[in-house]
Amino acid sequence: MFSWPIFFARLVGMATAIWSALLFLSMSRSLLTVCSRCLPRRGGSFWFTFLDCHKDLHIESDKALCFYSAVHILGHTIGTVPGVLQKDVSQLNEILGCAQDDPPYADKPMNFTEAAFLTMSGLTGVLLTLVLVALALTSQPKFRALRFEIFSKIHTVGIVTWPILLFLHDSQGWVGISIPLVLVVCGLPILLYVSARLDQLLRYYLNSVSCVQLCARGLEKPKLKAPWCNWSSRAQGACGVGRGTPLSLA
């Protein structure tokens, strides 16, 4: 009914979900920290190097998402949409309405524009594409260096909207256990990333992070006290200074 391109569209759709999961895993600092503490003694340097490459994994995951998304769009454009437009409602519901109380189609799309912009899968697909294009353009090294604030804000919005739109986009593709496939593949990685971000926010707003701004020209000796929670011998600190500023830490 939908011809052979549907197989490629569904296959790369699964690949897109897997790469989305890897994308969020590469941003989960808590997971990376736990993995670094549980590394085997044998070959430890290799695994440390692998974990240090999480930024490269993040970049390559983004590139893979762009490629597989393009193939996914092409497969549905030349396979699924023409099949929906050529068949009547009863034939569509006979194939797509299994294990559902209400049939997916009461009134099917009449043309390509309605299929792409007036259906849940089509509309969320367009929004996902816009989010991916915005992230890809603003993540270029030159743009990131010149307009880092814009890059950071768009990245934050994209990270929040991507899993939501992906869930809605896949809400038509059930796996037989009452939840979308994307939730099965990406649920745990997204949960790990969200927990890491919540931990960072709690440490910041509960005064576990100390921010000191020094404006004097002479020697300064800042005094930082240990936070009341999440403190260990492996805790890290960051110090930002201007170019050409002498700095000595004792």
- pLDDT tens for 74-83 read 888 887 777 6
The percentage of the chain sitting over the pLDDT mark of 70, rounded to a whole number, equals: 61
The segment with the largest mean pLDDT, out of 107-121, 149-163, 197-211, is 149-163
Average pLDDT over residues 154-171: 88
Q: How confident is the model at residue 7 (pLDDT cuts 50, 70, 90)?
A: confident
Token readout for 190 is: 């997204």
Main-chain dihedrals φ then ψ at residue 139, nearest 5 degrees: -90, 0
What is the rounded (10 degree) CA torsion for 130, 131, 135, 136? -40
Whole-angstrom Cα distance, residue 203 to residue 205? 6
Which pLDDT score, from 0 to 100, does residue 202 have? 80
Residue 22: is its pLDDT beyond 80? yes
Query: What is the residue-averaged pLDDT of the chain?
Result: 75
Over 60: is that where the pLDDT of 97 sits? no
Could you tell me which residues are beta bridge partners of residue 180? Answer: 174
Residue of 40 and 18 predicted with greater confidence: 18
Confidence category of residue 67, pLDDT binned at 50, 70, 90: very high
> What kind and span of H or E run contains 201?
helix 181-205
Q: How far apart are CA 103 and CA 96, in angstroms?
A: 8
Q: Could you read off the pLDDT of 228-248 as tens digits, one per residue?
A: 555 554 555 555 555 555 555
Say if residue 99's pLDDT is above 50: no
> Rounded to an integer, what distance in angstroms lies between the CA atom of residue 200 and that of residue 219?
31
Whole-number Cα distances in Å, 164 to 5, 121, 175, 217: 26, 13, 18, 49
